[in-house]
Structure formats: structure tokens, C-alpha cells
Amino acid sequence: MSPLPLSILQLAGGIVLLIVGGTGLVRSSVALAERLGVSTFVIGVTIVAWGTSAPETALNVIASIEDKGALAFGNLVGASIANLTLILGIAALVRPLPVAADIRRRALPFMLTLLLVVTAVIAWPALRGRATVGMDRPGAAVLLGAFVFYAVLTVWGALRPGARDIRGRKGEEDVRRSRMPIWLAILILVVSIALLVLGGALAVDGASGLARWLGLGEQVIGLTIVALGTTSPELVATLMAIRQRQGDLALGNAIGSTLFNMGFILALATLIHPADLPLTVLYSLGALCAAAIVLSVFSRTAEAKVTRVEGGLLAGIYVAWAAIIAARAAMTATGPGG
């Protein structure tokens, strides 16, 4: 089969798998939350977020083993910025996102604190006059410990007797009536995550093939299709959650994926092979912290919702950041007299 038809089939097949996987993931997640007596946010910030971050985990572990730390770091930061701006922005444009009190008081402040600490640790060598920045293995071990502590605390707090259930979202009544068995909910959840990951990979391959057929350069493909492709499971899962009025699940997926990227995968990649990073990575880290601050502010506005206007602003932040990165990459590629 020639490259063009194959690319079209890959793209179409990937989109179908993403839709099927996203639909199954939301339904099984809500059912699992109902059977365990926890909020859908808890399921989203843990199981769903960790599962949909599988592409980032695989890419960054391989990149670290091959001593490509800059690639690993760039992918993690780019995917995290997409989670907090583009993905939640699109979700809020579709339907305003209510932000529960527990999310405002605990999850968002912890995420912002972790991002600020990571930025400070990575920037520390520059403050001491070094030409490169990065994190060492002791710092990575502490970061990993902080992530594990938060994950354990979140799960324990949700499952402990008498824990307050913050669900109360329209859309769970059907699940309560169906009483999906917990084993079936877990099975569907696992299969759905696998479909999302496979669908994302197929869609990236197909879209990349089409882009090459259209004559687009590798750098453009990397900055757009590949970068967005690794976050496609989170995007589809979030849109499906919004479609079924499960705002907590959408928020949990975005926040949990960011925490997993910057708390677990970054720490794991550094433990495998610490990387010396250029000073320019601090701009992207600053953009990520700024996105977390903006989201935290929006979560506390009128009626504690991320409105459609705010969603548009979040998506606009991502577009502006991507445009700046692309422009800088183009300038670097041409260079003086290039």
C-alpha cells in the first residue's frame, strides 16, 4: 500500500480508537467512582491520569536511556502546558467547568507548589553561575517521594470511612441505576486506556505521514503533530467527560496528568540519566507555572467555574506559547546568515 492511503487509514483508525476508548473510559471511571464511593475527580487524578500519560512515560523513559534528556524534558513540559491550557480551555469552551471546593483548596495548590519547587530546583545551577540547568538524582528522589506522598494521601483520603463525597454531578444517575460490577468497570477502564494510547499512536503516525506528503518539515511536525499527539488521550478523555457532564473527571485528568508528568516521569527520567539542559528551558517552565496560576485564579472566579471566556483565554495562552516556541525554533534553524 502506498504511503498516502496508509497514512489516511492510520489517521482514521486512530481517531476511531480514540473515540471508543474515551467513551469507555468515562463510563467505566464514573461507574468505578460510584462503586468505591469516591468522587470522579479522585479516579481522574489517579487511575485515568496515570493511564492516559502512558505515551509520555514510554517516550521519556526511552529518551533518558538514550541520553536525550532535553527531548524528554521538552515533551513533559509541553504536554503539561497543553493539559492546563489547551485541553481544559477547549473543555470549558464546550461547557463551563465547575471547580469543587476540594480541588480549589488541595489539588490546585499542591500542583502549583510542586511546579514552583521543580522550577526552583532546575534553575538553581544557573543562580550559581553555570551555563546549564537541571536536576540531580537526590533532587529527583525527593520529587518522586513528594509525588508518591500526594498520591497515597489522595487515595487514602478518598477511601477512608466517612470521607466526604463531592460528586453530586448530573450524569451519574444512570450509572447508579446500572450498578456496573466493579470488576467489569476496571476491565473496561484498562481496555479503554489501551485503546486511547494505541489510537493516539496511530493518529500521530497517520498525521505525520500526511504532513510529510504535504511537504511539511520534520521540525514543524515535531512541534505540532507529535507534541499534540502525545496528549491526544487526555484531550479525548476530557472531551468525552465534558460531553457526559463529568467536569470533575475532566479536571482530575488534566491536573493528575500534569502532576504525573512533572512529579513521577520527570523524577524517573532524571534517576535514569540526569540531563544538562539549556537555560532556555526556564522560559517553558515559567510558562507552565503561569498556566497553573491562571487556572487557579479562574477556578476562584464567579460561581467557582472556568467559564467559556476563561476557557478561550486558556486556549489562547497555549496558541501564543506554541507560536513563540515555533518562531524561536525557526530563528535558531536559520541562524545568522542562514
> In whole angstroms, how far apart are CA 176 and each of 34, 35, 36, 74, 171?
7, 8, 12, 42, 10
Paired residues of 97 in beta bridges:
306
pLDDT at 283 over 60: yes
Q: Does 7 reside within a domain?
A: no
Q: Does 16 reside within a domain?
A: no
Q: Does 256 reside within a domain?
A: yes
pLDDT digits (tens, 9 = 90+) for 188-215: 988 988 888 788 778 777 777 776 776 6
Express as a percent the part of the chain with pLDDT over 90.
27
What is the pLDDT, as a whole number, of residue 88? Answer: 94
User: What mean pLDDT is predicted for residues 268-282?
Assistant: 86
User: What mean pLDDT is predicted for residues 62-77?
Assistant: 78
The CATH number of whichever domain residue 79 belongs to comes to 1.20.1420.30
pLDDT at 138 over 90: yes
What is the pLDDT, as a whole number, of residue 337? Answer: 52
In this prediction the pTM is: 0.80
What is the pLDDT, as a whole number, of residue 228? Answer: 65
What is the pLDDT, as a whole number, of residue 131? Answer: 80
According to the 3-state scheme, what is the secondary structure of 90-150? HHHHHCCEECCHHHHHHHHHHHHHHHHHHHHHHHHHHHCCCCEECCCHHHHHHHHHHHHHH
Query: Cell 480549589 belongs to which residue?
Result: 104
What is the pLDDT, as a whole number, of residue 167? Answer: 42
Q: Does 82 reside within a domain?
A: yes
Tally the domains of the chain.
1
Q: Which of 39-48, 75-84, 87-96, 169-178 has the lowest mean pLDDT?
A: 169-178
Instruction: Name the grid cell of 12.
Output: 482514521
Looking at per-residue pLDDT, the higher value among 176 and 126 belongs to 126
Q: Does 207 reside within a domain?
A: no
Looking at per-residue pLDDT, the higher value among 105 and 203 belongs to 105
What is the pLDDT, as a whole number, of residue 113? Answer: 94
Looking at per-residue pLDDT, the higher value among 111 and 336 belongs to 111
pLDDT band at 165 (very low <50, low <70, confident <90, very high): very low
Q: Does 118 reside within a domain?
A: yes
Domain that holds residue 57: 40-163+216-334
User: What mean pLDDT is predicted for residues 140-153?
Assistant: 92
pLDDT at 181 over 80: yes
Rounded CA gap, 265 and 79, in Å? Answer: 12
Rounded CA gap, 203 and 17, in Å? Answer: 9
pLDDT at 82 over 50: yes
Q: Does 183 reside within a domain?
A: no
Beta-carbon contacts of residue 317 (< 8 Å; ≥ 6 apart): 85, 89, 287, 290, 291, 294
pLDDT at 174 over 80: no
Q: Does 21 reside within a domain?
A: no
pLDDT digits (tens, 9 = 90+) for 284-311: 899 999 999 999 999 988 788 999 999 9
pLDDT digits (tens, 9 = 90+) for 27-48: 888 888 888 888 888 888 888 8
